[in-house]
Amino acid sequence: MRKHLIGLQASHFVSETDRKALEALKKLPVLPMLVQKFYEHGLDRWMYVHNMAMSVRCGPKQFKTIYEIHRECCAILDVPEPELYVSSNPFPNAFTGGVERPYIVLRSSILDTLTDDQIFDVIGHELGHIKAGHVLYQSIADCLKPLLEMVGRRTLGLGDIASIGILAAFREWSRQAEFTADRAGLLACQNLETAMGGNLALSAGPSRFSHEVNLDAYVDQARAYQEMSPADNFGKAIWFFMYGFAATHPMPVSRTKEIERWYLSGAYDNIINADFSKAS
Ligand SMILES: [Zn+2]
């Protein structure tokens, strides 16, 4: 039985790095114009309708098991129920959209890769994005280049250097926001091994050798990554500029190590053992 965290607030689990990166993002002078263009062109509505056309909506009569897991996750994290969809895609992933009308999309391959318990972690992760108010900024990040072109051409005359700085601020926040969402995932599935096992399964991908995976060995690998020699750190820095600059998600080993660190800090237990309903 998983505990329902009635009265849970985003501030209870938002990571400090996410909060600071979002603060920096909100200070960008161009941000209000990007938000304005995003709404002016009806992009939120367009993406919602596009998803509705391409995916299958879950409900009591459609993908009943997944829908019930979804409803339970909403109850655990005390989040109003967003719409849930399944879409065919061979690359395991999930995402959230819809500023005005939030929805979560699970790709078919993520459902085939993960156990039911790990699906709690994935849906909890996506609900964490909604609860933490990430969806507007994620949606803008998804169509940032055309939005920047619109604003740059018509309003600011932004050069490439300025645009790269804005892009980098979005990417940095986006990566930090994942750590917040991972915490919500753990709060939903309520088992560290389940959460880390999900990262392992998604990193390795589905295969006929999946029964031979070993979580302890993977966690050792994540620790080894964090503890590499100074020479290797230089390599990591080069890699960051090649890969990290453009990446919207942190590397899976970093996420595994970070969720373990957060759990071991006692923060997870503090939330699970708290009674937030009395505070409200
Ligand atoms: Zn995410």
Q: What is the pLDDT of residues 124-136, one digit of tens each?
A: 999 999 999 999 9
Residue 2 falls inside a structural domain: no
Domain membership of residue 264 (yes or no) is yes
What is the count of structural domains for the chain?
A: 1
pLDDT at 230: 59
Strand 56-57 with 83-87, pairing: antiparallel
84 domain-assigned: yes
**Which pLDDT band holds residue 197 (cuts at 50, 70, 90)?**
very high
Q: Which domain, by its residues, includes 214?
A: 10-279
With beta carbons less than 8 A apart as the criterion, state whether 103 and 87 touch. no
How far away, in angstroms, is 258 Cα from ligand 1 center? 14
Give the pLDDT score at 155. Answer: 45
Distance 59 CA to ligand 1 centre (A): 23
Q: Is the dihedral of CA 104, 12, 280, 6 positive or negative?
A: positive
Ligand 1 centre to CA of 5 (Å) is 21
Average pLDDT over every residue of 248-275: 92
16/146: higher pLDDT: 16
Specify if 14 maps to a domain.
yes
Distance from the alpha carbon of residue 171 to the mean position of ligand 1, in angstroms: 12
Domain contains 1: no
What spacing in Å lies between the alpha carbon of 159 and ligand 1's midpoint? 30
Q: Is the predicted pLDDT of residue 249 greater than 90, yes or no?
A: no
pLDDT over 90 at 189, yes or no: yes
How confident is the model at residue 242, as a pLDDT?
Answer: 61
> What's the confidence (pLDDT) of residue 246?
57
